[in-house]
């Protein structure tokens, strides 16, 4: 499998190559929306009609220069008008959704991804190969399916990217979902290490119960780290949150630890296995919920 040069891998890891103000993120975002499009499903009950939700990712409005919210600015659509003037757009919720008044942001489980971006996962976005490519496609398909259902607008999202370091995006609303996608694309290409505080932080800062989906392909580099993470996952579950590990390839020592403590572990032998599991979790968690 083709590997990126070390210099390029370091840029991937520190995120400099995917600054949201540059076109790189916009290109990757468009690429994975296109790759995920055939995977988008209807998570709602078969007997219920879909809401009239737009297929576009999100509506955009002119940003108020006096009240700028950088996390919601669509940098890729910023227009430079000359003479130092420019026009910025801000992401907003679609206006054509028929949402009952009783709907509240805290009414549905939120969604947390815990993704292994170590070297062994492998990622070549240009050629669309590597385990990490499959992870990116499935993350996007899950988000787009939630959007299509009309429910994705009312839950919070988070992502922990772990390898040489562990980085948590914090919980963000749908309007700031790009923050999750930006972190997803910061492939670290290092070892396998996850700071337990990243999971603890996600639990402490959660606004509601949540579904945590972890994807990894092997053991951690440090045995004590595995034990610490297994303990944090147990505490996550004790708070009423759902957790599942998608173990790519043969069962690892870490996967066996989780299974022994009663945490759900799914062995996946390819993208199709992982995709079908995520679909079932989406349907069972958000599919039958009334808005």
Render pLDDT for 170-187 as a digit per residue (tens, 0 to 9). Answer: 999 999 999 999 999 999
What is the phi-psi region of residue 149: left when phi exceeds 0, alpha when psi lies from -120 to 50, beta otherwise?
A: alpha
Longest Cα–Cα distance of the chain, Å, equals 65
In whole numbers, what is the pLDDT of the chain averaged over residues? 78
pLDDT on residue 29: 93
pLDDT on residue 147: 92
Asked whether the predicted pLDDT for residue 133 surpasses 90, the reply is yes
Location of each CATH 3.40.50.410 domain in the chain: 6-43+103-287
Superfamily designation of domain 6-43+103-287: von Willebrand factor, type A domain (3.40.50.410)
Between residues 55 and 106, which one has the greater pLDDT? 106
Mean pLDDT is lowest, of 22-36, 51-65, 147-161, for 51-65
pLDDT on residue 39: 87
Beta strand 89-92 pairing with 59-62: antiparallel
pLDDT on residue 178: 95
Stated pTM of the model: 0.74
CA–centroid distance for 9 within its chain:
21
Mean pLDDT is lowest, of 27-31, 67-71, 215-219, for 67-71
Strand (E) positions, the chain? 59-62, 79-82, 85-87, 89-92, 110-116, 157-162, 166-168, 210-216, 242-248, 265-268
Asked whether the predicted pLDDT for residue 18 surpasses 70, the reply is no
């Amino acid at each position: 499998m083709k590997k990126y040069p070390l210099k390029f891998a370091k840029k991937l890891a520190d995120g400099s190559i995917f600054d949201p103000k540059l076109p790189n993120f916009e290109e990757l975002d468009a690429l994975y929306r296109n790759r995920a499009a055939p995977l988008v499903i209807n998570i709602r009950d078969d007997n219920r009609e879909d809401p009239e939700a737009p297929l576009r990712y999100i509506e955009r409005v002119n940003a108020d220069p006096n009240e700028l919210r950088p996390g919601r600015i669509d940098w890729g659509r910023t227009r430079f008008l000359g003479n130092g003037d420019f026009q910025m757009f801000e992401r907003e919720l679609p206006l054509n959704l028929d949402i009952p008044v009783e709907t509240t942001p805290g009414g549905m489980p939120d969604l947390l991804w815990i993704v292994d971006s170590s070297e062994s996962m492998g990622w070549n976005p240009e050629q669309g190969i590597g385990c990490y490519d499959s992870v990116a496609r499935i993350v996007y398909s899950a988000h787009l399916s939630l959007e299509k259902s009309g429910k994705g607008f009312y839950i919070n999202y988070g992502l922990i990217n772990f390898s040489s370091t562990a980085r948590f995006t914090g919980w963000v609303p749908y309007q700031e979902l790009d923050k999750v996608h930006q972190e997803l694309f910061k492939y670290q290409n290092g070892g396998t290490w996850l700071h337990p505080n990243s999971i603890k932080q996600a639990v402490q800062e959660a606004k509601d119960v949540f579904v945590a989906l972890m994807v990894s392909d092997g053991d951690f580099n440090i045995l004590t780290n595995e034990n610490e993470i297994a303990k944090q996952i147990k505490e996550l579950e004790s708070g009423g949150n759902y957790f599942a590990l998608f173990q790519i390839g043969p069962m690892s020592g870490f996967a066996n630890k989780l299974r022994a403590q009663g945490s759900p572990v799914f062995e996946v032998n390819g993208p199709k296995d992982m995709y079908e599991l995520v679909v079932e979790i989406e349907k069972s968690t958000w599919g039958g919920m009334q808005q």
